[in-house]
Amino acid sequence: MTSNKSALFVLTSHRELGNTGRGTGFYYDEMAAPYWTLKDLGWDITLASIAGGQGHADPKTLVEPDQRPPAVARFMDDSESMAALSQTLKADTVDPEAYGCVFLPGGHGTMWDFDSALVGEIVSAAWANGAVVGAVCHGPAGLLQAKAEDGQPLVAGRRVNSFTNKETEQIELVGVEPFLLETRLRALGGLFECSDNFTSHAVADGRLITGQNPQSTEAVCRLLAEALGTR
């Protein structure tokens, strides 16, 4: 197991919410809260995105200052962090084995560009090197093409969760997003578990940590801290 205290965050670069005419991107708090959890534990963090360059948050998470979650406010007030977000590394240039943790924040954009060989290879290589892998909400789309050391799907036989089919129905995005994430994780053999719509649920199965929805971000951060705090 790697003792490296460097973490890689991979962000979606997809910015159009299907045919709705609405924008999307990564969910700010789902990036910022884990970011500060690791930073405060002394970890170095590299921000990457599928396209590289400026990272783009979902427009609806870009709220007025008095409405920002604490982690988002802290991030947006930190010039070093904002500079890193303005010049993310292109995901296909990173060395996954250089990181002791890979984290996949959610946001609807991940449903278009995380189900890829590239993200699958990043997660697979980091996992094989002993890294902790975390994801929240739609971020587990980045686990769909990841493999365990034996070549089987990484999620097969492991407790896992993500944004659920029922939640997708509630926000009327069935048929807008290209697939149902819960359905895909189950089909790969994931031991899918969840709570009621938009209530917190997070699970750690060994080095794999996943959370259900935006409301689960805090719980995911606690599990990350437990997994990484001793390194």
Structure confidence at residue 229 as a pLDDT band (50, 70, 90): confident
Beta strand pairing call for 202-205 and 208-211: antiparallel
133, 207 contact by CB (below 8 A): yes
Q: Tell me the pLDDT of the chain averaged across its residues.
A: 97
- The span from the CA of 12 to the CA of 112, in Å, is 8
pLDDT over threshold 90, residue 166: yes
Nearest in space to 109 (alpha carbons), one of 165, 60, 156: 60
What integer is the mean pLDDT of 215-220? 98
> Would you kindly state where each structural domain of the chain is located, as residue ranges?
6-228
pLDDT of residue 148: 98
Report which of residues 87 and 2 the model is more confident about: 87
Structure confidence at residue 3 as a pLDDT band (50, 70, 90): low
CATH of domain 6-228: 3.40.50.880
What integer is the mean pLDDT of 30-57? 98
- The span from the CA of 50 to the CA of 93, in Å, is 10
Structure confidence at residue 231 as a pLDDT band (50, 70, 90): low
Structure confidence at residue 19 as a pLDDT band (50, 70, 90): very high
pLDDT over threshold 60, residue 13: yes
Structure confidence at residue 2 as a pLDDT band (50, 70, 90): low
What integer is the mean pLDDT of 69-89? 98
What integer is the mean pLDDT of 72-76? 98
pLDDT over threshold 80, residue 1: no
What integer is the mean pLDDT of 90-116? 98
- The span from the CA of 106 to the CA of 138, in Å, is 4
Handedness of CA 133, 138, 141, 142 (dihedral sign): negative
CA-to-CA dists, residue 127 to 38, 85, 205, 221, angstroms? 18, 25, 13, 19
Encode pLDDT of 107-148 as tens digits: 999 999 999 999 999 999 999 999 999 999 999 999 999 999
Looking at the DSSP bridge assignments, the partners of residue 136 are: 211
Structure confidence at residue 8 as a pLDDT band (50, 70, 90): very high
